[in-house]
Amino acid sequence: MGNSSLICIRLIVNDLNDDESTVCPMVFSVDDVLKLRKLGICGILSGTLPTATQQNIFLSIPLKLMVEETIWLVLHGYAKLDLIKGPMSRHFNSILESKSDQLWEISRKKLLQSFELQREYKKEQHELKLKQLGLEQSKNDVSATSSSNDNNKFIESSLFVETSNVSSILDYSVDEKREITKSSTSTDLLHYLITNYSTWNNYLLYQSLKEQSYVMLPGGRFGGLYIAYPGDPLRYHSHLTIDSALDYYNDPIDFISLTSGARLGTAVKKLWVIGGVKENKNHTMNETINVEDSGLHSLKLGTITTSFFSIEWAGFG
């Protein structure tokens, strides 16, 4: 996959050196969202207007991704990472203050160009319809001139403003402060994500399910780490609720948690699934990933395997 087709994922991070800092991988392009959908990654739409909040079904970009989804995309060569430090509101304010005139002029030119194209198209369609009806009139005809003026009024009233699929504001950065930082390599940011915001075993569970063609979404509303669909969530109900990964050889199984998870899964008509990574005692994240830039996308999993166990609550008696 060439660089031009890479999906751009922007990591919104408050402070790289703060252990309590939050990270949020986001995608701001509708075209990139379409590419993700084709890869079986849906994310969560989160964009709305502060004064006109909508239900989830009406939300728009940016698209929020899970950390595991982001890791999978970068490791498999589908995406690149950009780092934005600090709250988004601060960046927008800084960019708008420094580039407001330039952004306005670009927006104005695009709007005028869009209106002109719409006018030409609508006039062509109107003339074609008159020709089909046999109502063509001479340009010197007074009634034709009057009709043309009326038609122009209708055309002007029907012009619409097209919303861009890509944010124009994020293409700019404050020149001196360089608020949008692109100096960090994808490898550095990838290690930062794995070290601070995910466990490698959780990612391996995600990857294993992804290889089995499941589509995952965050599972917090059903008490798990992920919920898994057998295909596109617009076509299927979720079948599985996956709990966080266990250390296969060392973590005990809490039967109270196991029972409550099974009962919850049965109540919402899903299988409760626990999983673990086997034979990885001597493997670390650094040994598993080839950290060289040229080999970033290659995994050295060796004998690492994942095992899953599904649990249902059958009741008593």
Q: Any idea which residue has 């404050």 for tokens?
A: 174
Kind plus residue range of the DSSP H or E element containing 201: helix 200-211
Torsion of CA 165, 166, 167, 168, to 10 degrees: -110
DSSP H helical segments within 66-164, as ranges?
67-75, 88-133, 142-158
Q: Does the annotation mark 153 as catalytic?
A: no
Q: Per the residue annotation, which of 78, 203, 206, 229 is the catalytic one? A: 229
Map residue 304 onto helix, strand or coil. coil
Map residue 122 onto helix, strand or coil. helix
Q: Give the burial string for 205-233 (b: 16+ CB within 10 Å, else e).
A: bbbbbbeeebbbbbbeebbbbbbbbeeee
Contact in structure between 179 and 94 (CB atoms under 8 Å): yes
Residue 225's region, left for phi above 0, alpha for psi from -120 to 50, else beta, is alpha
Q: Does the annotation mark 270 as catalytic?
A: yes
For the four alpha carbons of 257, 262, 263 and 269, in that order, the dihedral sign comes to positive
Q: Does the annotation mark 197 as catalytic?
A: no
Q: Per the residue annotation, which of 177, 237, 297, 300 is the catalytic one? A: 237
For the four alpha carbons of 286, 287, 291 and 292, in that order, the dihedral sign comes to positive
Q: Per the residue annotation, which of 35, 91, 210, 270 is the catalytic one? A: 270
Torsion of CA 227, 232, 235, 238, to 10 degrees: -10
Residues with catalytic function? 229, 237, 270
